[in-house]
Amino acid sequence: MPDKPPLHILLAGPRGFCAGVDRAIRVVEEALRRHDAPVYVRHEIVHNRTVVETLEAQGAVFVEELDEVPPDAPVVFSAHGVPKSVPAEARRRRLTYHDATCPLVSKVHREAERHFATGRHILMIGHAGHPEVEGTTGQLPPGAMTLVQTVEEARSVEPPPGGLAFITQTTLSVDDTSEIVATLRARFPFIEGPRREDICYATTNRQSAVKALAPECDLVIVIGSPNSSNSQRLREVAERAGAPRAILLPKAEGLDWTALHGVATLGVTAGASAPESLVADLLARLSERFRLTIEERCVTEEHVTFKLPAPLA
């Protein structure tokens, strides 16, 4: 049998689960323990099919809206946050509900409420249709926010006269968002905003880790689901930082081996909703075909944890 060809792996650190994702999964697991199956979950708890399928095997039932939840059944709201109308409907139907919204997303909700209370119109930097954006805009009456998705939109947006503020989705590209914020500040010098952009620590750290290794890689693989915003941004960041190619890979078994032709150094990372088991699966499959050397590049350590919401704590 011929010798396996060599392949050097640069493994990004941090990668994978963030504290908000870990907490959301624990909310579902604890709800199952307290209430027994089935426990209903409105939308994917986090944007990763492996996580969803694992929880389904334990008795979680994922639905799109509350009208799919039987009377008196327990329901969990996803980590991305929900409009205020959702818990109001749950209370009206007397459903027992647990809110798994990431505390950093809830912080953005409170910022929006504070700006609205002082009479400011809010520009939300984010992606249309993302559950986090829908949940955040749903904290306030219609018309209180205007969505800004690109620098071009930041140059052309015409908010109503009066006070102005901005907030951001937590899973955006750090560099893209900085450019949008700079454009808004140049146009509206008195715009109010957070001391630091609302992009969460985990998104920032994972993008920094990819930037640190991308210039040395022939290819970067980002493990994550296509509907995961932070995973998609990691792929974009890798290419902008110097990797000739970057691909998004939901699961190791979906890897197109032709993508590794000519690759001597491979970067590997995982989105904030992707479990470490998926990284291990990829490395195991790679080791079947290549003689691996693995080097972990860690730009920072993370020690953030979030408590479970009452009454699950």
| Cα 305 from chain centroid (whole Å) | 16
For residue 48, count CB atoms less than 10 angstroms from its CB and return exposed for 0-12, middle for 13-18, buried for 19 or more: buried
The question of whether 132 is a catalytic residue gets the answer yes
Which of 29, 132, 158, 276 is the catalytic position?
132
As a whole number of angstroms, the distance between CA 236 and CA 234 comes to 5
For residue 140, give the DSSP letter: S
DSSP symbols for 130-173? -HHHHHHHTTS-TTSEEEE-SHHHHHH--PPSS-EEEEE-TTS-
CB 198 within 8 A of CB 111: yes
* Number of CB atoms found within 10 A of residue 189's CB: 7
Q: Where are the alpha helices (DSSP H) in 188-296?
A: 201-213, 229-240, 276-289
> In which element (H, E) is residue 177 found?
helix 174-187
What pairs with residue 221 in β-bridges? Answer: 247, 268
Pairing type for strands 60-63 and 219-223 reads unpaired
* Number of CB atoms found within 10 A of residue 103's CB: 15
Q: Name which of 71, 65, 75, 64 is nearest 93 in CA terms.
A: 71
As a whole number of angstroms, the distance between CA 308 and CA 240 comes to 37
Type of residue found at 29: E
Tokens of 175: 């560099």
For residue 74, give the DSSP letter: E
Residues designated as active site: 132
